[in-house]
Amino acid sequence: MELDEKAKALIESVKAQTTPGNRSLDISVFVSQSLRGKELNLYEAYLLSGMKMEFTRLSYVQPAWSNRVRISILLELLNLRLLAAVFEEKSEEVRWTRYAKEAYSMNQEKRPHYILDHYQEYLEETISSEFLQSLKDVRASRSKPFDNGPYHTDVFPYNKCKCEELLLQGKTLPRRNKKVCSAIENLLVELALILEE
């Protein structure tokens, strides 16, 4: 199936869902499958993951859905902020930081976890190099027991981009990496319209 057809099928599937959580899940599956199939570039996947997070957010801020904020959501917001920094999108970085503050205040998963120990540092305007180094160290040593998970490498962008390493080196991704094909542009527009319903 061509990407255009897959995108249309995703739109139909998202429209058929009745909850923002299920809509979010559909988008997540599309992104991970399309990344595996090399049908999306990193920037397209980032934009779609951002749209996915908008639906996820609705599922925990709207009382009707009463979904809980968990550590995995905090990790996704962390990664979106790091990617925004890597793509030099300051306004998006501010948005993901704002969402992260909101989610952190609503987090219901209270247990020892490497991300919770440093999340306040993540919420600062400038991400500290110590925090980035701790993320890099966690990525390098995946021998930790699962009880300490989930890890920031378990959610988008997985190992497709080692954001913390790039930012530690003072590197960003050049403008030429920010290409979006017409199928994904159309998909983003359709998803935004569904989000506003």
For helices 90-106 and 114-122, give the axis angle rounded to 10 degrees: 130
- pLDDT for the residue numbered 147: 60
Beta bridge partners of residue 107, listed in sequence order: 69
- pLDDT for the residue numbered 169: 94
- pLDDT for the residue numbered 146: 53
The tens digit of pLDDT for each residue in 11-20 reads: 999 999 999 9
List the pLDDT tens digit at each of the 197 positions of the chain: 799 999 999 999 999 999 999 999 999 999 999 999 999 999 999 999 999 999 999 999 988 887 899 999 999 999 999 999 999 999 999 999 999 999 999 998 888 888 887 888 888 888 889 999 988 988 887 665 556 778 898 899 988 899 999 999 999 998 888 999 999 999 999 999 999 98
CB 164 within 8 A of CB 139: yes
Q: How many domains does the structure of the chain reveal?
A: 1
Residue ranges making up the domain that contains 163: 3-196
Give CA–CA dist 165/92, Å, rounded: 20
